[in-house]
């Protein structure tokens, strides 16, 4: 084994809970047969060379030293799960690590820097970091006693680099609680050559005495977090210049750097985190970098040295040519090269800075860039003589109106990770060029993965060549070598790449693109969300100190939820996770407790509010079903929309208007911030009147059901019935089984009574006492209701139902006007133009009593209307959009609206693609059939509700979208399916659509199997033809079927459906 390869190598030493765990499992005696290899492995890894002893003890043999290290680390690894009490999460992480499966949702961060776990086999890294830090705090003395000063220096250097990747303080690792005791010799580490530490590790040679003599005596500082004295650690750069690699690593990892003057008295610390902020911005200039260094060291700005002045003059006189190249004046070139003074300042060659900051290339192709509008770009520095630098603090760029334009592209994040891997990970550890190419492919897939995607490493590991790294894998069979090498790749992705992303980026999904991960630089995200948090605190929430609030004195526990911000096109949306409730108990203090506002609480996870409010929601649904007028014109599902439209079309006046070809007048509008502006006092007053006056109590029955078509996963259901109509469980099953097939039902508990007084108290408690934890602290909601709760939708329907009764009932004529409301989105349809205009006018005036007003910008009509001197936006044509649907103003037929999907940059941005758990053909078939079913509903496919031409058009457009999704799934799934398997999937999709047309949609008599097959095959052929290189045999098979005489006759009859101009939107979807 090569000592130079693993000397100072971070992976093995630092990642005790990640990579080391896999190494310990792989180096068992049953696997290798000789545990001495592993001891020598740790010996060369931790110490770097031959074992060294402490200054007050004799040298120990190599086997003894390695044995001690193995025993200590093995003991720590064995105690970590019990000490941290990670329980089920630790077991899930260990099982996922054994499968070598990495989940993309694993790197998503929430607003309060906690891990948001998405997907089925996600890995939680919170316990990993806790184990590493706790190891440093509690067992550092043990390591010092066993391995000595010199070995501890090497271990400290490696571990500190690992911890700094997580933006932890360097003094937390170098402080006296970890490396020295008052009763023994104090250990102060002085690093001379940082380039040797980062690349080759500390050597066993003694440091240069001459350099040590020039160093000033070490002074002790105070750790602000612990209040204890700290032995400082100095990273001194050589005075004859700075290596570019050193500068790059410092700027990436925020390592503290101390500049030293020639007299040895002044030591100023540069904030490299702030410098790295400039380095990651594509608009950074040399002037910005110099001003930042000046602002960090104001003494140098007041009296700049000649060498730094020459460097500034050289950098400030750069100018850009039209072709994007940079040149320098002769005067600046001569000024920068003639100075040879050594004043001890940080000396940087300007050409190195320009090369690193990419100022010699086109800014559009810069390595680290951010998409900022051109009008917000800073001006190019002018060519002016050097003057005294103007000190200006760092100011983040202005926030664009669209937060989605501030993201860093996936390519920029990938280039950032590639740059870090090339500079930090030893090339010999990965192997040759082919292994590096495969590793970068994995990194690219990791960055571009969606929220619900997984990255199965077992499909990619066989592509690597282990023969190139066989010198450190040992004499083992190929299967064992692949297992150990898979652990290395797993560490690079999880403990290195993902930790870098967490340190420098904020990763989240968008409100309109749920499956796409957006990467924001940490400073950009903090600047962009600052105003959004300010608005939330001023309008809806108030900050709470738990130690002084009424919660800590009146209750033993405090319940709260977590809130984060999600970007959308114009602003940010606050999302509260109501699926999980967190409880703070005041009874005790445990190692896993958290400190908040000076008080000690035990943090525990509990069932979410949505689950605990299931009983109340079932009773409220039964109440609204018995008294439908209390919710007004509210509709809750597509079935309600179809029923309301069908009832409206059956009116005599509407039939007469539609038969004459008259156009119906339509308008839509929504309420601005519907959930956030609801008055709590007004809502509770309405509930008291609507609920308590109803002398109705309910019997609540709880049962479960599970589908036999997939993995058996029981789901709990609550059913509330009036006391006057209490039925047995068998009677409930008979009513439920008519609408479902292959479902197993079970009785979970005996029925019990629910009283309206208890329901009201539960709702009042959830509205009044809503605490959320955000990145700015604990907040209490004082206006509005929690958005994200299943109970909030029902409360919103009751609230706006009363609003309609008070303000719209006297205006709307039910004989000619239809009003529908999906939560807060209104739709008004009428044969009278005055009716629609009067309703819009009243809605736009606002409702001060209810604390809400209309969103004028989103108001839309299909005719010209002017209200209060403001022209309302209008649409042209027969189709009117509303809530993802297109309603015809001449026939009231309903079509699918694909407009939002056509605006996406890529179709997969809104697709949930999970490649875990099924074989490739089964996975492709499963994902395709899952995406087929949602749009096969009677609202779109029933010929008794829509005309047959509309149903054919909906069916053909649905097939086109399915064909494009087939290409996306086939492209993203690692193992490609054969042409025969793809043809089988196409046949399954067409067959499933035909079966659902006959059963669920009731259109079987109007559509033959040949009609459905021709529409489906034609859609797949048209979509896949531009991608013919992938589907040569599949296209030949489809073309052969379409050329049959029977299908030719059907095609002549259905050709008008394919040539309809309404298909332009669905064909515009990019895939």
Domain ranges of the chain: 410-418+428-502, 698-754, 897-1067
The pLDDT-based confidence of 713 (bands split at 50, 70, 90) is low
Q: What pLDDT shows up at residue 558?
A: 74
Q: Which residues contact 473 (CB under 8 A, 6 or more apart)?
A: 466, 481, 484, 485
Percent of the chain with pLDDT over 90: 15
Q: Which of 378-387, 729-738, 1025-1034 has the lowest mean pLDDT?
A: 378-387
Higher-pLDDT residue of 711 and 581 is 581
At a CB cut-off of 8 Å and minimum separation 6, what does 201 contact? 7, 8, 9, 48, 154, 157, 158
User: How far apart are the C-alpha atoms of 940 and 946, rounded to whole Å?
Assistant: 7
* Among 1048, 963, 955, residue whose Cα is nearest residue 1001: 955
pLDDT tens, position by position, 1026-1063: 998 889 999 999 999 999 999 999 999 999 999 999 99
Name which of 31-40, 128-137, 629-638, 954-963 the model is least confident about.
128-137
- Band the pLDDT of 509: cuts 50, 70, 90: confident
- Tell me the mean pLDDT in the region 368-381: 31
SS3 456: strand
Those residues whose C-beta lies under 8 Å from the C-beta of residue 683, and which sit 6 or more positions away, are: 767, 785, 795, 798, 799
Higher pLDDT, 65 or 850: 850
User: For residue 202, what are the contacts with CB-CB under 8 A and spacing of at least 6?
Assistant: 8, 48, 150, 153, 154, 157, 196
Residue ranges of alpha helices (H) inside 461-509 are 470-473, 478-491, 498-504
d(CA 490, CA 496): 9
Q: Give the CATH H-level superfamily of domain 897-1067.
A: Telomerase reverse transcriptase (TERT), thumb domain (1.10.357.90)
Between CA 621 and CA 721 the distance in angstroms is 10
Which range, of 74-83, 677-686, 837-846, 931-940, averages the lowest pLDDT? Answer: 74-83
Instruction: Return the pLDDT at 283.
Output: 36
pLDDT score at 831: 92
Q: Tell me the backbone φ, ψ of residue 1054, rounded to 5 degrees.
A: -100, 10
842-851 mean pLDDT: 85
Angstrom distance (rounded) from CA 913 to CA 454: 8
Distance CA(550)–CA(546), nearest Å, equals 8
Per residue in 271-293, pLDDT (tens digit) is 333 333 333 333 334 444 444 44
At residue 243, does pLDDT exceed 90? no
> Do 326 and 332 meet the contact criterion of CB atoms below 8 Å apart?
no
- Within 10 A of 875 (CB to CB), how many other CB atoms are there? 15
Which pLDDT score, from 0 to 100, does residue 635 have?
Answer: 93
pLDDT tens column, 780-820 = 888 888 877 888 889 999 999 988 988 888 888 888 899 99
Count of C-beta atoms within a 10 Å radius of residue 791:
22
- pLDDT grade for 951, boundaries at 50, 70 and 90: very high
Q: What percent of the chain has pLDDT over 70?
A: 53
779: helix, coil or strand?
strand
Specify the pLDDT at position 143.
Answer: 45
For the segment 398-432, what is each residue's pLDDT rounded down to a tens digit? Answer: 444 688 888 888 888 898 888 888 877 778 788 88
Residue 461 neighbours by CB distance under 10 Å: 18
In this structure, the number of other CB atoms found within 10 A of the CB of residue 864 comes to 9
Note the pTM of the prediction, 2 decimals: 0.62
List, for residues 328-364, the tens digit of each pLDDT value. 333 333 333 332 222 222 233 333 333 333 333 333 3
Say which DSSP state 405 is in: G
How does DSSP assign 968-992, residue by residue?
A: HHHHHSSSPPPHHHHHHHHHHHHHH
Position with higher pLDDT, 449 vs 255: 449
Residue 988: its pLDDT value, please?
Answer: 92
Q: Is the pLDDT of residue 585 over 80?
A: no
> pLDDT value at position 470?
67
Which pLDDT tens digit goes with each residue over 447-473? 887 776 777 777 788 888 888 776 666
What is the bridge-based pairing of β-strands 599-607 and 572-585? antiparallel
Which of the four pLDDT bands, split at 50, 70 and 90, describes residue 876?
confident
pLDDT for residue 575: 84
- What is the residue-averaged pLDDT of the chain? 65
Give the strand pairing for 885-888 and 879-882: antiparallel
At residue 881 the predicted structure's pLDDT band, cuts being 50, 70 and 90, is very high
For residues 746-774, give the mean pLDDT. 81
């Amino acid at each position: 084994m090569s000592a130079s390869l693993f000397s100072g190598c971070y992976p093995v030493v630092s990642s005790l809970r990640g990579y080391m765990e896999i190494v310990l499992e792989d180096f068992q005696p049953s696997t290798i047969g000789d545990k001495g290899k592993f001891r020598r492995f740790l010996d060369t890894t931790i110490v770097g060379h031959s074992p060294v002893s402490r200054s007050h003890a004799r040298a120990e043999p190599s086997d003894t030293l390695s044995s001690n290290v193995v025993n200590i680390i093995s003991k720590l690894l064995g105690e970590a799960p019990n000490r941290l009490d990670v329980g089920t999460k630790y077991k899930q992480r260990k099982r996922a690590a054994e499968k070598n499966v990495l989940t993309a949702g694993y790197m998503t961060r929430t607003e309060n820097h906690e891990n948001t776990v998405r997907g089925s086999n996600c890995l939680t890294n919170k316990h990993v970091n806790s184990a590493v830090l706790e190891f440093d705090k509690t067992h550092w003395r043990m390591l010092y006693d066993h391995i000595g000063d010199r070995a501890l220096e090497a271990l400290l250097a490696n571990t500190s680099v690992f911890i700094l990747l997580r933006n932890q303080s360097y003094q937390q690792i170098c402080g006296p609680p970890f490396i020295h005791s008052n009763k023994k010799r104090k250990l102060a580490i002085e690093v001379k050559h940082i380039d040797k530490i980062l690349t080759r590790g500390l050597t066993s040679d003694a440091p240069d005495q001459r350099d040590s003599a020039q160093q000033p005596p070490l002074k002790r500082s105070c750790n602000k977090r612990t209040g204890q004295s700290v032995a400082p650690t100095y990273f001194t750069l050589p005075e004859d210049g700075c290596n570019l690699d050193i500068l790059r690593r410092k700027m990436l990892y925020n390592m503290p750097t101390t500049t030293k003057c020639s007299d040895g008295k002044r030591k100023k610390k540069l904030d490299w985190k702030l410098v790295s902020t400039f380095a990651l911005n594509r608009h950074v200039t040399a002037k910005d970098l110099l001003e930042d260094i000046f602002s960090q060291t104001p003494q140098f700005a007041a009296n700049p040295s000649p060498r730094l002045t020459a460097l500034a003059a050289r950098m400030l006189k750069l100018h850009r040519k039209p072709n994007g190249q940079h040149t320098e004046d002769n005067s600046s070139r001569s000024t920068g090269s003639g100075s040879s003074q050594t004043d001890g300042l940080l000396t940087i060659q300007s050409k190195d800075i320009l090369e690193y900051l990419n100022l010699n290339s086109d800014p559009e192709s810069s390595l680290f860039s951010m998409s900022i509008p051109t009008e917000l770009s800073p001006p190019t520095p002018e060519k002016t003589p050097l003057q005294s630098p103007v000190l200006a603090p760092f100011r983040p760029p202005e926030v664009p109106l669209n937060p989605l334009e501030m993201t860093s592209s996936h390519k920029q994040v990938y280039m950032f990770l590639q740059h870090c891997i090339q500079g930090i990970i030893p090339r010999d550890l990965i192997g040759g060029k082919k292994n590096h190419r495969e590793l970068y492919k994995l990194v690219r897939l990791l960055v571009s993965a969606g929220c619900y995607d997984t990255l199965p490493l077992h499909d990619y590991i066989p592509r690597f060549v282990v023969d190139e790294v066989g010198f450190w894998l040992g004499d083992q069979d190929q299967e064992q070598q692949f297992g150990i090498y898979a652990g290395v790749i797993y560490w690079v992705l999880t403990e290195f790449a993902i930790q870098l992303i967490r340190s420098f980026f904020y990763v989240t999904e968008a409100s309109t693109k749920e499956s796409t991960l957006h990467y924001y630089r940490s400073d950009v995200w903090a600047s962009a969300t600052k105003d959004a948090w300010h608005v939330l605190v001023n309008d809806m929430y108030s900050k709470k100190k738990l130690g002084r609030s009424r919660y800590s004195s009146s209750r033993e526990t405090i319940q709260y939820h977590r809130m984060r911000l999600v970007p959308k096109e114009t602003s940010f949306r606050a999302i509260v996770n109501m699926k999980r409730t967190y409880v703070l108990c005041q009874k005790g203090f445990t190692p896993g407790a958290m400190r908040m506002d000076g008080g000690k609480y035990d943090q525990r996870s509990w069932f979410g509010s949505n689950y605990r409010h299931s009983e109340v929601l079932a009773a409220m649904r039964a109440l609204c079903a018995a008294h439908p007028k209390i919710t007004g014109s509210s509709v809750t599902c597509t079935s309600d929309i179809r029923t309301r439209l069908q009832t409206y079309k059956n009116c005599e006046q509407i039939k007469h208007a539609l038969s004459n070809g008259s156009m119906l007048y339509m308008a839509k509008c929504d309420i601005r911030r519907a959930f956030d502006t609801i008055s709590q006092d007004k809502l509770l007053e309405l509930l008291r009147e609507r609920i308590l006056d109803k002398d109705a109590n309910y019997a609540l029955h709880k049962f479960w059901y599970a589908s036999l078509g997939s993995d058996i996963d029981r789901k709990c259901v609550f059913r509330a019935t009036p006391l006057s109509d209490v039925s047995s469980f068998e009677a409930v099953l008979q009513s439920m089984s008519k609408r479902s097939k292959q479902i197993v039902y079970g009785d979970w508990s005996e029925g019990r009574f629910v009283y309206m007084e208890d329901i009201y108290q539960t709702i009042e408690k959830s509205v009044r006492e809503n605490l959320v934890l955000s990145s700015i602290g604990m907040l209490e909601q004082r206006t509005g209701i929690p958005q994200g709760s299943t109970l909030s939708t029902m409360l919103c329907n009751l609230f706006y139902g009363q609003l309609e009764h008070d303000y719209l009932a006297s205006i709307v004529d039910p004989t000619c006007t239809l009003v529908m409301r999906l939560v807060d989105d209104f739709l008004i349809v009428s044969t009278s133009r005055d009716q629609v205009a009067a309703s819009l006018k009243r809605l736009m005036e606002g409702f001060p009593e209810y604390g809400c007003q209309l969103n004028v910008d989103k108001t839309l009509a299909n005719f010209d209307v002017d209200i209060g001197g403001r022209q309302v936006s209008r649409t042209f044509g027969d189709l009117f959009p509303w809530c993802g649907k297109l309603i015809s103003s001449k026939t009231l037929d309903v079509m699918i609206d694909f407009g939002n999907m056509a605006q996406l940059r890529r179709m997969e941005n809104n697709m949930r693609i999970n490649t875990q758990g099924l074989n490739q053909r089964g996975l492709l078939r499963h994902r395709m059939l899952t995406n087929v079913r949602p749009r096969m509903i009677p609202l779109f496919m029933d010929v008794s509700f829509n005309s047959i031409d509309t149903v054919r058009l909906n069916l053909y457009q649905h097939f086109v979208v399915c064909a494009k999704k087939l290409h996306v799934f086939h492209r993203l799934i690692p193992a490609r399916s054969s042409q025969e398997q793809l043809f089988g999937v196409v046949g399954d999709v067409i067959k499933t659509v035909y079966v659902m047309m006959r059963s669920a949609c009731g259109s079987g008599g109007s559509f033959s199997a040949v009609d459905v097959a021709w529409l489906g095959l034609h859609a797949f052929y048209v979509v896949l033809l531009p991608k013919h290189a992938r589907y040569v045999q599949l296209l030949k098979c489809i073309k052969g079927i379409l050329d049959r005489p029977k299908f030719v006759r059907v095609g002549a009859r259905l050709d008008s459906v394919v040539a309809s101009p309404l298909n332009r939107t669905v064909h515009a979807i990019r895939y």
